[in-house]
Structure 1
């Protein structure tokens, strides 16, 4: 993969590419006779597949699979993380269409505000930090 180093030009429009990918995949799936909900389900499952490939690359970068050794580099991991992000954004666009960028921006602002509002730099205590754990909250499964 030929990925340029350095800053991305300010005229780069990733949502344009995301929208074109979403339109292509939607057209192909529609031609296969799939309902929108079926398409969204499969696209969402694709996110898990990409996350699994990311995990495989991390294992390969650490060389912890005795059968394969160091089979990946951290650059491979970075590419798989990007694939996972792209797949996620395409899924969001397929569900929301042109509303996806604004929805994503709003959710990002809401989620990041919980972690970026620390009282002082380096402060480890945060009122919302406990909400992002794997423990079930009361009343939730």
Structure 2
């Protein structure tokens, strides 16, 4: 199965997942130094996704200027950066929880994309 999205730019290649695994290992080591065991570190990593999402939401509010007290405090590039933080944090969370994160992600992407992309292998016959 390919990890490349139909019609998208660069695939989620092995190098990207190597970086994600390295980040996961670094954060696992840091958690271990603090005495945080994997079930707890998994919960904390998922909460980190929520924190990053909040920053993305704040950037959208700032880019649209919808907070009267702050006005336009962000640019859309800030939103893009924060969305990347959400995605990276999610990938690291998955890598910390599953040794087969890249393969699991690819299978989930194919499954879920198959619901929306006509003619995809996962969507045929559905």
Provide the C-alpha distance between the structure 2 equivalents of 1:105 and 1:68, rounded to a whole number of angstroms.
40
Q: Secondary structure at the match of 2:66?
A: coil
In the alignment, structure 1 segments of 5+ residues that lack a partner are 1-6, 119-127, 129-141
Q: Which runs of 4+ in 1 moved over 4 A?
A: none
Q: Secondary structure at the match of 2:98?
A: helix
CA RMSD of aligned residues (A): 2.1
Aligned pairs, number: 112
In the alignment, structure 2 segments of 5+ residues that lack a partner are 1-8, 120-125
Residue number in structure 1 paired with 2:98: 96
Matches within 5 A, 1:1-141: 13-97=15-99, 99-117=100-118
Which TM-score applies when normalising by structure 1?
0.74
Provide the C-alpha distance between the structure 2 equivalents of 1:36 and 1:11, rounded to a whole number of angstroms.
26
Shift in Å, 1:117:
2.0
Q: Secondary structure at the match of 2:68?
A: coil
Shift in Å, 1:90:
0.1
Which TM-score applies when normalising by structure 2?
0.83
Provide the C-alpha distance between the structure 1 equivalents of 2:13 and 2:95, rounded to a whole number of angstroms.
20
The structure with the larger Rg is 1
Provide the C-alpha distance between the structure 2 equivalents of 1:81 and 1:113, rounded to a whole number of angstroms.
23
Provide the C-alpha distance between the structure 2 equivalents of 1:46 and 1:34, rounded to a whole number of angstroms.
15
* Structure 1 residues 60 and 103: alpha-carbon distance in aligned structure 2, compared to 1, 3 A threshold: same
Provide the C-alpha distance between the structure 2 equivalents of 1:13 and 1:65, rounded to a whole number of angstroms.
40
